[in-house]
Amino acid sequence: DTASFAQIADRYQYEANQPLEAVTVGSWKARIPYTIEKVIYSSTHGERVPGHFVTPHEAGPGPHPAILLVHGANSFWGRNEDWAMDWMDILARAGYCVLCIDNAGHGERMTEPLNIMAAGSYHHREWMTQSVVDQRRGLDYLLTRPEVDRSRIGLFGGSLGGWIGCMVAGLDDRFAAVALTVIGAWVAGDSDDPRTRWVNMLNFAPRISAPTLMVNATGDGREPGEELFAAMPDPKQQIWIESNHY
């Protein structure tokens, strides 16, 4: 219910006027029709969040539509995994700006192995909270870039990135569209379980305000995907692909 969700959502709030203190470490625009910048900005708990920001060259001066791209559970790869790099390339060539960061505990932010499914562990809740807030700060960052059309920012997440993305989109109404891939209602435990309700997608999906596309793999099983899709408001669409998770 609304009152209970307000308690959950409160955990993911942050000071909106907290300075991003964003810096561009370097850029690369040779041999490709877009510029890749390595950027770093501030999030909560003193975290400095590294990411790639991509701007297309051949789509005119802009402003351009933009995508907040959320990678999956890929250990030390983070934003450098082939899934993220391939989609950055595809989207930039299609005329989008893209921001893809290292989620908490991944990529440059990985200091020890991370058990993302530590059932019953509040550690699970802590790093997920950080990842969700970091992505919302990433949206704040996109809104500061003059190359970005502020009215056309979408979210695209895959696997764990879809999980995080579902929560971000349920908490934030600033997206024009949402796309989630290979994702389902995976969290064990009831949606009001005090250990897991903070990260249970079934609590966030009904509050997504943007049109949503889900693309799922039959190899993951249809039931979790159908359950999550059913919880989402219209407009929405789900596509099933005969495939395993990857």
Q: Helix, strand, or coil here: 102?
A: coil
The string of pLDDT tens digits covering residues 123-143 is 677 888 999 999 999 999 999
Tell me what pLDDT residue 58 has: 83
Q: What is the rounded (10 degree) CA torsion for 211, 170, 160, 117?
A: -150
Confidence bin at 192 (pLDDT 50/70/90): confident
3-state helix, strand, coil in the chain (%, to 5): 35, 25, 40
Confidence bin at 151 (pLDDT 50/70/90): very high
Q: What is the mean pLDDT of residues 77-102?
A: 97
pLDDT > 70 fraction of the chain, expressed in percent and rounded? 96
Confidence bin at 23 (pLDDT 50/70/90): very high
Q: What is the mean pLDDT of residues 182-196?
A: 83
Q: Identity (one letter) of the amino acid at 32?
A: I
Tell me what pLDDT residue 126 has: 84
Does residue 5 surpass a pLDDT of 80? yes
* Count of Cβ atoms closer than 10 Å to residue 6 Cβ: 9
Q: What is the mean pLDDT of residues 110-127?
A: 70
Q: What CA–CA distance (Å, rounded) separates 216 from 227?
A: 12
More confident residue, 110 or 64: 64
Does residue 120 surpass a pLDDT of 70? no
Tell me what pLDDT residue 165 has: 98
Are the C-beta atoms of residues 97 and 138 closer than 8 Å to each other? no
Tokens of 66: 């933009």
Sequence-separated (6 or more) residues with CB below 8 Å from residue 10: none
Does residue 237 surpass a pLDDT of 80? yes
Q: What is the mean pLDDT of residues 138-155?
A: 98
More confident residue, 195 or 64: 64
Q: What CA–CA distance (Å, rounded) separates 185 from 201?
A: 6
Q: What is the mean pLDDT of residues 212-233?
A: 97
Tokens of 90: 């595809």
DSSP string computed for 44-76: GGG-EEEEEEEEESSS-S--EEEEEEE--S-GG
Are the C-beta atoms of residues 99 and 67 closer than 8 Å to each other? yes
DSSP string computed for 160-200: HHHHHHHHHHHH----SEEEEES------S-TT-TTTTTT-
- 155, containing H or E segment: strand 148-158
Most confident of 30-34, 36-40, 57-61, 196-200: 36-40
For tokens 């060259």, the residue is 57
Tell me what pLDDT residue 195 has: 76
- 84, containing H or E segment: helix 82-93
